[in-house]
Structure 1
Amino acid sequence: MGLREWALGGVLLSPFLIYVLMALAITAAVRLVVQATPLGRWIWHEALFDAALFVCVLSLVVHLLGPL
Structure 2
Amino acid sequence: MGLHEWGWGGVYLSPLFIYAVLALGATVALRLLLQVTPLGRWIWHEALFDCALFVLILCGITWALSGIS
TM over 0.5: yes
1:46 corresponds to 2:55: no
Distance in 1, Cα, partners of 2:6 & 2:22:
17
**What pairs with 1:1-68 in structure 2 (closer than 5 Å)?**
1-68=1-68
Say which is worse superposed, 53-62 or 8-17, in terms of deviation: 8-17
Deviations 1:8-29 (A, max 9, x none): 4554321111100000001111
TM score, norm. by length of structure 1: 0.88
- What runs of 5+ residues in structure 1 fail to find an aligned partner? none
Percentage identity across paired residues of the two chains = 59
Deviations 1:6-53 (A, max 9, x none): 334554321111100000001111000100001111000000000000
RMSD: 1.2
TM score, norm. by length of structure 2: 0.87
Letter in 2 for 1:66: S
Say which is worse superposed, 7-16 or 54-63, in terms of deviation: 7-16
- What runs of 5+ residues in structure 2 fail to find an aligned partner? none
Distance in 2, Cα, partners of 1:41 & 1:8:
42
